[in-house]
Amino acid sequence: MESRFYMSLDQSGIRLWKFFEQDNEEKSVATLILDSLMQCPIDTRKQLAENLVIIGGTSMLPGFLHRLLAEIRYLVEKPKYKKTLGTKTFRIHTPPAKANCVAWLGGAIFGALQDILGSCSVSKKYYNQTGRIPDWCSLNNPPLEMMFDVGNTQPPLMKRAFSTEK
């Protein structure tokens, strides 16, 4: 496939080019983002597209985010996305910490909030029976007793990642 965007052939340019070259299945970083948006409910696509946060060490490569946004804007005009996506506005927000640490930070905060862990988790038995996790935003979830092993002992609590205790 011929690329619309050209970069210098220094080391970072060569590395970036590979992320935006579509493979045999016509997938690239930009198409993966657009395809993910297409799988979301149509009434949430516009908000999600305007609130992208790209994390990971790769997103810290010089020019990566600009190239990603340019590729998305180019692809959104293609017939595959033009009529069905429902938005042409995309915004990439700066993460609250270094992009290569945000995933760890989010996991550490979530792990420290032990009350949330109990209400946003499912038992292994439930997952093996259904093969899916519940949509926590949906009101059509099965009763909580089905999702949790009620009566079983609670898992041991982790030491809080962020604590004022000594």
Distance between CA atoms of 13 and 114, rounded to whole angstroms? Answer: 44
Extents of the domains making up the chain: 11-93, 122-150
Cα 9 to Cα 6, 14, 59, 112, distances in angstroms: 9, 6, 19, 45
Task: Tell me the residue type at 142.
Answer: P
**CATH dotted code for 11-93:** 3.30.420.40
Reply yes or no on whether the pLDDT at 18 is more than 80. Answer: no
Reply yes or no on whether the pLDDT at 74 is more than 60. Answer: yes
Reply yes or no on whether the pLDDT at 135 is more than 90. Answer: no
Which of 33-42, 101-110, 144-153 has the least mean pLDDT? 144-153
Condensed to tens digits (0 to 9), the pLDDT of residues 24-41 reads 667 888 899 999 999 998
